Amino acid sequence: DQQVKQNSPSLSVQEGRISILNCDYTNSMFDYFLWYKKYPAEGPTFLISISSIKDKNEDGRFTVFLNKSAKHLSLHIVPSQPGDSAVYFCAASAFIDYKLSFGAGTTVTVRA
């Protein structure tokens, strides 16, 4: 049973516009959340993270928002660029647990 869900398998956005990727989780023990980006034929690379003590974390064009009461997080990419076309995975972990639980991924395509 997947504890981290990304319900949108794909997203298409025009260059320069905002991309919003969503992620829901069911395990209330999760307190640390990460986003990974994956290009074809490469392993995932870490993008941004957020701890449950925060509700927002920003890094350049990438911002992650966390709504603990709704068990929901989102990743905003502004502005979207062609190089952002990739698969994005949401992941979560619980304190004292080495393991990450991943969502199924969202494929983002940025159109020129």
Partner 1 sequence: DVKVTQSSRYLVKRTGEKVFLECVQDMDHENMFWYRQDPGLGLRLIYFSYDVKMKEKGDIPEGYSVSREKKERFSLILESASTNQTSMYLCASSLSGVRYEQYFGPGTRLTVT
Pairing of strands 106-111, 30-38: unpaired
Tell me: does residue 92 bind partner 1 (CB under 8 A): no
Figure out which of the listed residues 53, 70, 96, 112 binds partner 1, where binding follows CB under 8 A.
96
Q: Between residues 2 and 14, which has the closer beta carbon with respect to partner 1?
A: 2
Asked if residue 102 binds partner 1 (CB under 8 A), the reply is yes
Told to check if 14 binds partner 1 by CB under 8 A, we report: no
23 lies in the binding site for partner 1 (CB under 8 A): no
Of positions 32, 68, 72, 74, contacts partner 1 by CB under 8 A: 32
DSSP string, 10-42: EEEEETTS-EEEEEEE--TTEEEEEEEEE-TTS
Q: Does 50 bind partner 1 (CB under 8 A)?
A: no
Q: Is 53 in the site for partner 1 (CB under 8 A)?
A: no
Q: How far apart are CA 56 and CA 63, in angstroms?
A: 7
Pairing of strands 10-14, 106-111: parallel
Quote the CA–CA distance of 59 and 99 in Å, as a whole number. 24
Give the whole-angstrom CA distance, residue 59 versus residue 69. 24
Which residues are near partner 1 by CB under 8 A? 2, 4, 6, 9, 32, 34, 36, 41-46, 49, 51, 89, 91, 93, 95-105
